[in-house]
Amino acid sequence: MKRKGAIDLLLVTPGGRMTVYQALGSTLCAIEPPVWAGLIATYVRRHGFGVAILDANAEDLSPEEVADRVADVDPLLTAVVVYGHNPSASTQVMPAAGAICRAIKVMQPDRNTLLLGGHVAALPVRTLQEESADFVCDGEGPVTVVELLSALAESGPDLRRVRGLRYREGPGIRTNEPAPLVEKLDTEMPGIAWDLLPMERYRAHNWHCFGGFPRQPYAAIYTTLGCPHHCSFCCIHAPFKRGERVLGYKESVNSYRRWNPQSVIATIDRLVSDYGVRNIKFADELFVLDPSHVSGICDLIIGRGYDLNIWAYARVDTLPDVLLDKLARAGIRWLALGIESASQRVRSDAVKGFAQDNILRAVEGIRARGINIGANYIFGLPEDDNESMETTLRLALELNTEWANFNCAMAYPGSQLYSTALEGKWSLPFDWSGYSQYASNTVPLPTRHLSGADVLRFRDQAFQTYFSNSAYQERILRKFGEDTLSHVRGLVRHKIERGILR
C-alpha cells in the first residue's frame, strides 16, 4: 500500500554538462528544465503517489552528491530520467546516468533504481546489461512508473504485471508486456510539476536572447508529443513505438499527440505569473505542423497581451502566410528550421523530403514578419561528399540566418541511421559521450565517401567560416547591436578540443 506522507518516487535528471559541452557548458549552453521528469511527476501525483525531482544537471551535483540526496529522501523508487531536448541529449548523458546508478548502489545496494528515457527505450536490454539499475523502461515512462510503484508498495511485489518493464530474472532478462502511450494528455498529464523544480537555475540558449534579453528566467514546454515524419537520422520515436503497437498503430505510422490549446495557455499563464518567465522554448519536435493547433495557441497568447520571447521548430514546408503572421504576433521571435543539406540527393537519402524552392520561400516569409531564424545543417549524412558539404555551406552563407547550427551526422540509438550503421559495420563512437556534438571524444559517422574525421574537420571549419563572415557580422550588428556582435566574435575565438583530429 502507499506510504502516507512519504516520497514514493524521486525523479533524477543527470548532469555532466562539462563533459558533453566542454567549456561551453559553463556559460554558453542552455540549462534546460527536465520536461519529461516534470510531466511524469504530474502523471504520478495524479495517481496518489508522493513525488520529488532532483535536477542534478541544474544543481551541478556529482554522482556521489546525488546518492547522498537519494539516501536523505529515502524514496520507494529512484528513477533516473534520460531524456533531453535535442536528438543526442539522451544518449550523450548516459555516462552521467550510469555513474549516478553506480553511486547509489555503492551507498545503498538495496535501493530500487529505474532507468528510463529515449536512449533506454532504444536499447533496453543493452542498458540493463551495462548499467547498475534494477529496472529499465522500454517505453515512454509514465504508465510503467505508476505500475512499478504500485507493485513495490506491496509485500512480495508481482513485477510481471508492470507493463513496459525489463529486469533481471534468474540468469536472463525478463521482458514484460509493453505499456500504452498516455492518450488523454489534458487530463492525465496536463502539465509540468514546476513547483518541484529549481526554476531560478534555468537559462535560455545564448542566441535565443540576442539583442539584450536576460537569459533567466527560462522554461521549456511541450505542446505536442511525437512527429509524423520519418527522417532517418532522428531518434525521437524510440520511446513511443512499443506503446503505439499496444494502441493499434501500424508500424509505418508515428503517433502525434497534442495538448489542447487551453492546457498550453494554462501552463504559459503559470510560467508568466508565478515565475516571471518571458523566454520560452516550445520543445516539440515539430511545433509548426497542425494549423488549427498552432493557431489556437497563438490566438490565446495574443489575447493575453504577453510580451514573450519564444522559439520553436518548423519545417520549411509547413509555414503558410496566415500562420507566420500569428506566430509573429504571439511572440515567436525565433523559428528553427531543419534545412540539413543543400543537396536534394543527400536529403532524399535521409528521407528529408522537401523541394529546394521551399527553403528560399520559407526564409523569405519568416524574415518578412521580423522573426529570427536558427537554421540547422548536418554534415556527413550517408550520401555527403566534399562537394555536397561545400554546397551546403554556400547555401548557409547565402541565407545568412541570425543563427546556424552545424552538426555532424550521428547514428543515434533509436534512429534508422543507427540500424543502418550496425548493418554496415560503420565506425561508431567508443562510448556514449562520443555522441555529443561538442565532446572532445566525438566520433561522427563516416559517409559513403568520407571518413568521420573528414566530416568533423569540415564542420568545425564551417562554423568558423560562417560566424566570422563579414555579411553575417554586419547582420548581427544591424539587428542586435554591438554587444551581441562582440559575443559572436568571442564564439569564433573559442576552439573546441577534438581528440579524433589530433
Q: Could you give the strand order of the β-sheet that contains 372-379, starting from the edge strand earlier in sequence?
A: 218-221, 279-282, 309-314, 332-340, 372-379, 403-408
Predicted pLDDT of residue 28: 77
pLDDT tens readout for residues 53-92: 999 999 999 999 999 999 999 999 999 999 876 656 789 8
**Average pLDDT, stretch 120-127?**
97
Task: Report how far Cα 425 is from the mean position of its chain's Cα atoms.
Answer: 27
**Average pLDDT, stretch 149-170?**
95
Contact 136, 120 (CB under 8 A): yes
Contact 203, 173 (CB under 8 A): no
Residues 80 and 117 in one domain: yes
Residues 298 and 170 in one domain: no
- Is residue 232, in this structure, part of any structural domain at all? no
Three-state SS for 178-222 is: CCCCCCCHHHHCCCCCHHHCCHHHCECCCHHHCCCCCCCCEEEEC
Residues 310 and 440 in one domain: yes
Q: How far apart are CA 116 and CA 140, in angstroms?
A: 8
Predicted pLDDT of residue 87: 53
**Average pLDDT, stretch 104-114?**
97
Residues 207 and 299 in one domain: yes
Q: How far apart are CA 201 and CA 219, in angstroms?
A: 10
Residues 326 and 466 in one domain: yes
- Is residue 313, in this structure, part of any structural domain at all? yes
450: containing domain: 203-223+259-501
- Is residue 251, in this structure, part of any structural domain at all? no
pLDDT tens readout for residues 223-254: 999 999 888 888 889 999 999 999 999 988 99
Give pTM, 2 decimals: 0.94
pLDDT tens readout for residues 304-333: 999 999 999 998 888 888 899 999 999 999
Residues 167 and 289 in one domain: no
Residues 491 and 454 in one domain: yes
Model confidence at 297: pLDDT above 80: yes
Number of domains in the chain: 2
Question: Grid coordinates standing for 118?
Answer: 529515449
Model confidence at 155: pLDDT above 70: yes
Predicted pLDDT of residue 86: 64
- Please provide the DSSP assignment of 309-357 as one string: EEEEEE-TTS--HHHHHHHHHHTEEEEEEEEE-S-HHHHHHTT----HH
Q: How far apart are CA 138 and CA 158, in angstroms?
A: 18
Contact 210, 66 (CB under 8 A): no
- Please provide the DSSP assignment of 1-25 as one string: ---TTS--EEEEE---HHHHHTTHH
What CATH number does the domain containing 125 carry? 3.40.50.280
